[in-house]
Structure 1
């Protein structure tokens, strides 16, 4: 079974945040951390810390949740992050993101 994730990346507490959706959280976080797409929002604003995520059984529910998050007031987003992760710690810090594997970027 494939799971889908809505996630929030940030650089520092109360700084710029990015909300995304993916069916491969490990890979997507790795792309953000290593700035695979250097002109992307997360690369430009150094949003490299995974500070929040939710898991879903299907992509439609995850996409709906992402769209709703993006419409929320910033205060609500910050409160959501701080409920799960009060110190804004990088939740992926101990993940094995397979740093030796090469990326293949489709252009």
Structure 2
């Protein structure tokens, strides 16, 4: 738990997202959210709130059922992992290109 992280109890999350506590408990049972616990008390982070807000939008605004939400969340996680891998590959390619350019520049100036 980071120093700058904010934490919320279930009552505050319910007020912020305008949902019933049973809805949050259901989403936890379904595996959509995994709040931390301190002495059996659910503790939610900003990241949890963002994820819950996404799930609520899917179910209430778009009428997605729980099975659909599960699929969408898993696909979203895979896409995030793929994006991280692509960013790492781009950093590698950028570094390789930079090194090649530096070698060619050095070689060019060594001619003089």
Bigger share in helix: 2
TM over 0.5: no
Q: Which bracket does the TM-score occupy, shorter chain normalised?
A: under 0.3
Higher relative contact order (CA 8 A, sep 6+): 1
- When normalised by structure 2's length, the TM-score is 0.26
- When normalised by structure 1's length, the TM-score is 0.27
Bigger share in strand: 1
